Amino acid sequence: MTLDAIVVGAGLSGLVCARRLRAAGASVSVIEARERVGGRLHTGRLGDGVVDLGGQWISSGQPRVVALAAELGIATERHSRRGNVLLGEGKPGVFAQLGAAIATWRAVRRIHRAMRALPTGDAARELDAITVDAWLASTIGNRIARDRIALHAELVFAASPADLSLLGYLGRLGATGGFAPPGPELPGGGREHRITGGAQSLALTLAEQLGDAVHLGEPVIAIEDHGDRVEVRTATREHHARRLVLAVPPALTRSIAVDLGPTARAFADATRVGPVVKCFATYDRAFWREAGWSGEAYHLRGTVRATVEIRTGGGPTLLAFVVGAAAVGWAARDLADRRAEILSLLVDQFGPAAAAPLDYVDVDWGADPWSAGCVASLPPGALSSGARWREPRGRIHFAGTESAIAWPGYMEGAIEAGERAATEVTG
């Protein structure tokens, strides 16, 4: 049987695409390597509550994900940030703090101007050849301001600024609204709301609507465009359709035998997937708030670069992020050692009560074979050499959050990309 379309990947983008295709009257099948839907959206248990082991927050200016949640009858809730934020920058004096705040504000304005006026041609190639780290060192004189921008970049891309293309960095900021909110607490932006009950509920509800069109546990090993149809081979069978949508992270296509064309292949080969570890500890009370802290903390160096309080429907919970080089090989370590290190760092931040959580869990996205990390980025030189991940190649189309025009790397981008790919197939 030859379908109208096959979607490879049952993450949010692939499921949105398949749903829109079916609404247009197309016959569609979704093929997923995992034994679950959601991709990098995955909800787990922690104590009496639920936590987003993967993507979790909704930011301002993201209408698609808000509309989809409302359409599916899935509630959202506001994320509270009351209390003081801990900035691990030592203890600079009042004048040093004021100088750093002013320098950070100026740096943000400069970056915003640059991202709104990205050059083309030779000027773009020059930006693509520069690392974010080198640019910060040459343009921002205040050390604290420079370190804050660098930390923001590392948290967004899960990679060292020394490995990021300046052109790619500015382009991503421009596609995601820049710094939100701007100011001295740069890493704290973009966490206004969460999906009640976990972000994976979006994918689970979409998959339920699609029913037996979703096929789990079928890793794709080869895709061939025959001109009038596309053939998809898994380890157990073949699928045929008039069109195909690739809704998987670009790096995963390295293990699939498929002709992506030179620009998409260059993008897939150059993409670096930043490792991210999320570490959750839940408690019987929010002792950090009793001391006036919001639970939000940022460190310029060390294993944990950011900590935030999250709501789980259970006890008060702290979430610590390990990203980039510190996250490499995390899952290979003994769980007791990992837990002890994280709790020790939480104690340093918020006091001895942090040593005795009711429950602890962590997840290493770098150890997930169907993600191989979490956040995609490009090294210097990739964009100017022609790497692109959006334009169709024959009967093959591209979805997934990495192909989004707006909000790449976010749920909003995943939805936009899925909708766009469906329009390409039906148009």
As a whole-number percent, the residues of the chain with pLDDT over 90 amount to 78
Residue 183 reports pLDDT greater than 50: no
Q: What is the mean pLDDT of residues 296-320?
A: 93
Which pLDDT score, from 0 to 100, does residue 95 have? 58
Q: Cα separation of 325 and 322, whole Å?
A: 9
Which pLDDT score, from 0 to 100, does residue 368 have? 93
Q: What is the chain's alpha carbon radius of gyration, rounded to the nearest angstrom?
A: 22
Type of residue found at 80? S
Q: What is the mean pLDDT of residues 5-21?
A: 98
Angle at alpha carbon of residue 221, lines to 215 and 224, rounded to 5°: 100
Q: Cα separation of 291 and 310, whole Å?
A: 17
Residue 83 tokens read as 């209390």
Residue 58 has, within 13 A of its CA and on its CB side, a CA count of 23
Which pLDDT score, from 0 to 100, does residue 192 have? 75
> Cα dist. 116→109, 111, 112, 161, 242 in Å?
11, 9, 6, 20, 39
Q: Which pLDDT tens digit goes with each residue over 100-145?
A: 788 888 888 899 999 898 988 999 999 999 999 999 999 999 988 8
Q: Long-range contact list for 345-350, CB < 8 A, 24+ apart?
A: 345/302, 345/303, 345/304, 345/320, 346/281, 346/307, 346/318, 346/320, 349/86, 349/288, 349/297, 349/307, 350/287, 350/288, 350/291, 350/293, 350/295, 350/297, 350/318
Which pLDDT score, from 0 to 100, does residue 185 have? 42
Q: What is the mean pLDDT of residues 361-378?
A: 91
Which pLDDT score, from 0 to 100, does residue 59 have? 79
Predicted TM-score (pTM) of this structure: 0.94
Mean pLDDT, the chain, as a whole number?
A: 92
Q: Which pLDDT tens digit goes with each residue over 230-271?
A: 999 998 999 999 999 999 999 999 999 999 999 999 999 999
Check: CB of residue 7 under 8 Å from CB of residue 245.
yes
Residue 60 reports pLDDT greater than 70: yes
Q: What is the mean pLDDT of residues 366-374?
A: 88
Which pLDDT score, from 0 to 100, does residue 94 have? 58
Residue 363 reports pLDDT greater than 80: yes
Q: Cα separation of 46 and 294, whole Å?
A: 20
90 band by pLDDT with thresholds 50, 70 and 90: low
Q: Which residue has the higher pLDDT, 177 or 334?
A: 334
